[in-house]
Amino acid sequence: MDIRDYYKALGVARTATQAEIKKAFRKLAREHHPDAKPGDKGAERRFKEINEANEVLSDPAKREKYDRFGKDWEAYSRAGPTTGRRPGGGPGDPFGPSGPFAGYSGFGGAGGPGGGARYEFRTPGADAGGGEFSDFFRMMFGGDAGAADDAAGRGAGAGSGRQGRGRGGASGAGGSFEDVLSGMGSGGFGSVGGGRAQGGGRGGNAAAAAPVEANAELVLEEAFHGTTRIVEIGDRRLEVSIPAGVDTGSRVKLTGKGPDGRDLVVVVQVRPNGVFTRRGADLEREIPITLGEALLGGEVPVGTLKGRVLLTLPPGTQNGKTFRLSKQGMPRLKGDGPGDLYVRIRVVLPTHLPEEARASAEAFLALANQPDPRA
């Protein structure tokens, strides 16, 4: 029985985070899925390897079990035939009293010390290339993986059924490409405010666990004040409260509100605004002012998402100068208080001057004696 290095199969370090494992699996699944390379037996075998590795490393319980005991399987492989353990244990028996797995009942879905039991672990259809999981996987996770497959050779229902497994052959390598993607959480998008949210994935137990996702498009004012959306799921209509401060990509989760008790996740998209530009919790906008306001100063009204405020301009305010209005930006979902509003000044000069105004401007400029700004 070959000892499997699941970290090497996915090309990740043993300290890899769940996000890094998921990213590596998605990339390799796209490259090696049999649907992408029909008839390529090497791709099929490789896909089974990465599928099995992901089954273990993406499940915290299986990963912890593998990290604790996986290194000791070399001792098992040296102990004798891979078909099982000798009745009652023995000097070379890793399940015996002095073995690394003495008294451990988690392997093979049965066990406990003694009993004279003999276990065989075979993957149904393995000789024909139809089996999904290795003998190593079944020995280590048999109890978790539903190792007692029937004689008809249905696919190994490992653990959570995360990848939507199918039957033997190319499909047995992990189902269709859509099954794999749905198992990675990319399926199940619906609509908000009219459309029906559809279930995600066709992967048996995975479909029961995967959240249903729906999209909600908001204008900036709704994201500022908070709003609601109606989601239709089957024959039910749910009103979803969307909190103030959401941004594009924010996810609002309703636990157990989806079909079959699954979670409902509303993914937010905030449309661009013609006046305000958003930078996280901060907002930016431009304000036009007159030449007189720029030269002499004064108070100018500024529209914010809260209402109008007065901005005091000092005399000689330059075109392009930016003023910060504290706490006039977006509310934060988490953190201390709202962001700020940055107001950029645009000086608008008078045009089509009559002769009298032009003469007055020339006299004023002669008195102002402004130095050349380009010098």
**CB of 340 within 8 A of CB of 318?**
no
Angular region, 228: left φ>0, alpha ψ -120 to 50, beta rest? beta
Given the DSSP bridges, would you call strands 341-348 and 282-290 parallel, antiparallel or unpaired?
parallel
Fold match, 6-181 / 189-270: no
Give per-residue pLDDT as tens, 80-116: 444 444 444 444 455 555 555 554 444 433 333 333 3
Single-letter amino acid, residue 210: A
Give residue 45's pLDDT. Answer: 86
Class (C level, CATH) for 277-368:
mainly beta
Give residue 75's pLDDT. Answer: 53
- Please provide the CATH number assigned to the domain covering 189-270: 2.60.260.20
Would you state the structure tokens that stand for residue 168, as one six-digit string? 């033997």
**CA of residue 65 relative to chain centroid, distance:** 25
The label of the residue with tokens 């002669």 reads 366
Single-letter amino acid, residue 224: F
Exposure string (b/e) for 153-162, b if CB count within 10 Å is 16 or more? bbbbbbbbbb
**CA of residue 64 relative to chain centroid, distance:** 22
Give residue 141's pLDDT. Answer: 66
Give residue 339's pLDDT. Answer: 96
Exposure string (b/e) for 17-40, b if CB count within 10 Å is 16 or more? eeeebbebbbebbeebbbbebeee
Give residue 191's pLDDT. Answer: 38
The superfamily in CATH containing domain 6-181 is DnaJ domain (1.10.287.110)
Half-sphere exposure of 247 (CA within 13 A, CB side): 13
The Cα 64–Cα 70 span in angstroms is 10
Would you state the structure tokens that stand for residue 174, as one six-digit string? 């992990």
Nearest alpha carbon to residue 174 among 325, 356, 37: 37
Give per-residue pLDDT as tens, 2-35: 678 889 989 999 888 998 999 999 888 888 877 7
Where the chain has pLDDT below 50, the residues are: 77, 80-92, 103-131, 143-204, 206-208
Domain definitions of the chain by residue range: 6-181, 189-270, 277-368
Give residue 260's pLDDT. Answer: 83
The Cα 287–Cα 41 span in angstroms is 65
Give residue 331's pLDDT. Answer: 96
